[in-house]
Amino acid sequence: MRTRPRAGLQIDGFTLGEQLHKGGFATIWEVTHPLHRTPMVMKVPTILDGYDGPTIVGFEVEQMIMPRLTGPHVPRVMGTGDFAVMPYIVTERIPGESLLARFRSGPLPLTEVMDLAARMALAVHELHRQHVIHLDLKPDNFLERPDGTLVIIDYGLSRHDQLPDLLAEEFTIPMGTFPYIAPEQYLRRRDDLRSDVFALGAMVYELVTGKMPFGQPETLRGVRKRLWRDPEPPRALRPEVSPALQEIILRALEVDPARRYQSAAQLLFDLQNPDQVKLTARAQKQARDGFGPVFRRWRRMRGLRQFASPPPTMSAQIDQAPIILVAVDLSPEMEELAERLRLSAARMLVLEPDARVACVNVIKTARIGIDQTVDEFGTNLHVARLVALRDWARGLDLDEGRLTFAILENPDPGTAILDYARTTQVDHILMGARGHSTTRRYLGSVSSRVVAEATCDVTVVRVKPADLAEEAEADVAPETAPA
């Protein structure tokens, strides 16, 4: 490296301003460029004289990965600099602070925790979808945009599924930040996105309790303990924590990645639907395990070299744990279609044993005016639909933890389904299409709109008409009837 950063330095059209931050491995500078109007920062690694392998490789990895990332959850890259002159990365400047301050002020009110945790999980899932496992998630590495979107920074330890892993060759000891590092990362695995799920779990634990689940070990020996020693259950530290939230946190913190949430999206889903989390013994746990169980775990874990391998690629790993939305029409004339939909869902679940199913039904509300939420006999429409939806799903023969139910209200069922799919990171929508009718030919059907506008896979199920004439009659009747 021939050039060193200083205020006023000009390089590749960028002019360095004030130094904003000086960390152990890099300095951050304010920069300007005549062609870019957005506020920008430049990160320059602090490379020691002579050969400073780990810092260089970490920065090489960032230079490789960051320009490939897109979307609001990552900083936009404006330029990278050559090692021959001065290595740097210029990105947009995210105005807010990192989450560190909020973590330090913890524990936070629980509603705030749920919201923040969901935003963190969403940002991590977006990263995973772009083939990157971060592997060093911690409060300092989340920045917040003014609109609340979280931005993940610092990719010096990350791994891109489709690029050479330069770090694997460089380090002989596990890498990461000790309070948040996952057990398999301690065992030197760098290809499991569930390691990020573990770090998320550790951070949510910290937000809830104000404590780190495994303390702040300073040695690798201290890190290793988490392979057998369980953290204090959050409810023991803060009694108002709901069983569901404890279930979510302890599941994310499972030692064996196979017992954790299989993706950040699944964790997000539970954070968004805490009332539908399937509670297990984790939810009820009141104290850390006693000597017996811990000793047995120690005996089992002390010789462990590796957990079972994750799927070969990240896309495969995400695909293996999809969230499937089934939009069920419960109107009486659609019984046959609902039945077919259930058969298709059941078939899909055989192929995707880690899938979760969100059963959704839409109550079509009037665009103008006040809706009646109770029928003439005083039955709450919402509750009635929920009961019917649960009854429909009974035929699916799926354990409750993998099934959730939602009744949506919207004047436009298509919009309701699309919005729900977007916010809950649904991977696949399964829905029925009614038969053919003249009205739909001109006005368009719900399913065709969902197929056209959804950002995930969509499967449309139809009932094959036994007799076209008969079908047309049955189909048109309810729609033309006066509402």
Partner 1 sequence: MRLAVLTDIHGNRDALAAVLADVAVRGVDRIAVLGDIVGYGPDPEWCVERIMALAEEGALVVRGNHDHAIAARDDAMNALARAAIDWTRPRMPAAQAAWLASLPLTLALDDILLVHASANDPGDWIYVTSEHKAMPSFRVSGARVILCGHVHVPALMSCDLSGRVRAQRIPMGRPVPLIRSRRWLAVVGSVGQPRDGVPQAGWALLDTGRNELTFRRVPYDTAAVAARLRAAGLPEELARRLEKGE
**Closer by beta carbon to partner 1, 64 or else 406:** 64
Q: What are phi and psi of 430, to 5 degrees?
A: -115, 125
- 169 part of the interface to partner 1, by CB under 8 A: yes
Min CB(45)–partner 1 separation in Å? 11
Token pair for 394? 């009974």
* 86 closest CA partner among 45, 122, 124: 45
Q: Which of 110, 163, 237, 460 binds partner 1 (CB under 8 A)?
A: 163
Residue 423 CB contacts under 8 Å (≥ 6 apart), including other chains: 272
Q: Would you count residue 70 as binding partner 1 (CB under 8 A)? A: no
* β-pair type (403-410, 77-81): unpaired
Give the closest residue to 75 by CA, choosing from 108, 28, 112: 28
12 binds partner 1 (CB under 8 A): no
Residue 27 or residue 63: which is nearer to partner 1 going by CB? 63
In whole angstroms, how close is the CB of 57 to partner 1 at the nearest point? 8
φ and ψ at 116, to 5 degrees?
A: -65, -40
Question: How many Cβ atoms sit within 10 Å of the Cβ of residue 101?
Answer: 11
**CB 162 → partner 1: shortest distance, Å?**
4
Residues 150 and 121 sit within 8 Å (Cβ to Cβ): no
**Which residue, chain included where needed, has tokens 């990171």?**
425
Single out the segment in contact with partner 1 by CB under 8 A; choices: 17-25, 52-60, 394-402, 475-483. 52-60
57/363 with CB nearer partner 1: 57
- Binding partner 1 (rule: CB under 8 A), the pick from 53, 95, 312, 411 is 53
| Residue 353 CB neighbour total at 10 angstroms | 9
Number of residues that bind partner 1 (CB under 8 A): 17
CB 83, min distance to partner 1, A: 4
Structure tokens at 385: 């639909």
Nearest-Å Rg of the Cα atoms of the chain is: 26
Contact letters for partner 1, residues 78-117 (x by CB under 8 A): ----xxx--x------------------------------
- Of the candidate spans 57-65, 262-270, 324-332, 468-476, the one that interacts with partner 1 by CB under 8 A turns out to be 57-65
User: In terms of CB distance, is 87 or 413 closer to partner 1?
Assistant: 87
56 scored as a contact of partner 1 (CB under 8 A): yes
- Span interacting with partner 1, options 54-62, 177-185, 383-391, 457-465, rule CB under 8 A: 54-62
Residues 421-460 that bind partner 1 (CB under 8 A): none
C-beta of 242 vs 315, nearer to partner 1: 315
- Least separation in angstroms between residue 344's CB and partner 1 is 33
Residue 58 sits at φ, ψ, to 5 deg, of -55, -40
The stretch near partner 1 (CB under 8 A) out of 16-24, 76-84, 232-240, 341-349 is: 76-84
14-22/26-33 β-pairing = antiparallel
Q: Residue 64 or residue 381: which is nearer to partner 1 going by CB?
A: 64
Exposure string of 149-163, with b = 16+ CB inside 10 Å and e = fewer, is bbbbbbbbbbbbbee
Please choose, out of 51-59, 196-204, 246-254, 322-330, the segment that lies near partner 1 by the rule CB under 8 A.
51-59
Instruction: Report if residue 51 touches partner 1, rule: CB under 8 A.
Output: yes
Given a contact cutoff of 8 angstroms between Cβ atoms, the answer to whether 380 and 374 are in contact is yes
Residue position matching structure tokens 């990240």: 314
Binding residue for partner 1, selected from 64, 381, 396, 456, defined by CB under 8 A: 64
Q: Does 255 bind partner 1 (CB under 8 A)?
A: no
User: Which range touches partner 1 (CB under 8 A), out of 60-68, 248-256, 273-281, 413-421?
Assistant: 60-68
Whole-Å CA distances, 255 to 37, 225, 262, 301: 47, 11, 13, 10
Q: Of 350, 348, 364, 329, which is closest to residue 427 (Cα–Cα)?
A: 348
Does 164 engage in binding with partner 1 (CB under 8 A)? yes
C-alpha closest to that of 282 among 240, 252, 257: 252
Burial class (CB in 10 A: 0-12, 13-18, 19+), 177: middle
Q: Which is nearer to partner 1, 51 or 442 (CB)?
A: 51
Site membership for partner 1, residue 391 (CB under 8 A): no
Asked if 73 and 122 touch (Cβ cutoff 8 Å), the reply is yes
Q: Which of 286, 333, 294, 322 is nearest to 434 (CA)?
A: 333
In the complex, minimum distance from the CB of residue 190 to partner 1, in angstroms, rounded to a whole number: 12
Which residues here bind partner 1, judged by CB under 8 A?
Answer: 51, 53, 56-57, 60, 63-64, 82-84, 87, 162-166, 169
